[in-house]
Amino acid sequence: MRILVLGAERSGTTWIARALGSADDATYVHEPDNADANPLAGDGKRGLGLYPVLESGERADGYARLWDHAFAGGWPTRPSVARIGAAVNRMPAVVRRLVAGAAGRVSHRSRVPEIVVVKSVHAPFAVDWLVERYRPAVVVVRRDPLNVVASLIRLGTTPAGVEERYQAFQHPSVRSKYLNPTGLEPPGPAEGMAYRLAWWIVFVDRLLTDHANREGWAVVSHDEMCASPVLEAERLCDVLDVRDRVGVLRFIAASDRPGDGFSTNRVTAEQPERWKGVLDRRQVAQVQSAVAALAPG
């Protein structure tokens, strides 16, 4: 079984994907298309940008190698492998491309696990390409935009980081497929950073949720899962037909403790209103305004 977990960044995708990857005979592959997580991603996405825009069946050999390797089980999670990956990332580009080609053809496993869970926050505009090629069960994770924006600001997101995301809106396919039919126009740099960040988050959430509603994919609310973690985890396992859920529930319970940064440990009950300790009144108003601007109808 292949499971693809998608959502906007900082929406809880890692927590939910790691939980699913804790099932019996399952493995979790973390963001194969993110250069911060996979040293070979930069070469695999060469020419495609931070958020690749691909239609079903479109040729993208480097990108395909990243995802072929991911759905074959990905890299081992041992620290020694992470050190090797960091060393590869320091090599000349031509050497990295050779390594990327070999890695995409050879899995480190003699047997692919029964369940491979792969997670991405960089694939909203390539989702049709991924689904057509790999036929995964798809899970879309949603979270209150106030919490997503607060988390990104807490991690140090800058206006330059927002601008990097907005480059995807310049792609002709994004404009013709997602912006022009709805009459939407992304806000320019003169708008507040919290507003532009929220606009991006809500846009990605809406795009993925619309896909999920059309295709019958699973949709998970991070906020609801924090309120009832066991019940919502059981429900998700039922939807995906993940029969062994002892490991899933064990992971959920073990992660219910203090944590920060990129850790999946959090006091679960505190998460739905965590934004209150980060955003000021002006930022809250900007996020709410972006949500209203993108509301359907």
Lowest-pLDDT range of 38-42, 140-144, 210-214, 225-229: 38-42
Q: Give the count of beta carbons closer than 10 Å to the beta carbon of residue 187.
A: 18
Residue type for 214, please? Answer: R
Is the separation of the CB atoms in 259 and 165 below 8 Å? no
Q: What is the CATH number of the domain that holds 85?
A: 3.40.50.300
pLDDT exceeds 50 at position 103: yes
Helix axes 61-71, 93-105, angle to 10 degrees: 50
List Cβ neighbours of 67 (8 Å cut-off, separation of 6 or more). Answer: 32, 33, 118, 130, 133, 134
**Is 0.85 surpassed by the pTM of this model?**
yes
Task: Name the percent of the chain lying above pLDDT 70.
Answer: 88
Closest to 251 in 3D by CA, of 87, 93, 18, 68: 18
pLDDT exceeds 80 at position 89: no
Domains held by the chain: number = 1
List Cβ neighbours of 134 (8 Å cut-off, separation of 6 or more). Answer: 2, 4, 67, 71
pLDDT exceeds 70 at position 297: no
| Range 230-257 average pLDDT | 95
> In the prediction, which pLDDT does 181 show?
92
Cα–Cα distance measured from residue 45 to residue 40, given in angstroms and rounded to the nearest whole number: 9
Q: If you search the block for the tokens 């972006």, which residue do you land on?
A: 290
DSSP SS3 for 104 = helix
pLDDT exceeds 80 at position 84: no
Q: What is the domain extent for residue 206?
A: 2-293
| Range 48-68 average pLDDT | 94
> In the prediction, which pLDDT does 263 show?
87
Cα–Cα distance measured from residue 216 to residue 280, given in angstroms and rounded to the nearest whole number: 38
Instruction: Check residue 266 and report its DSSP letter.
Output: B
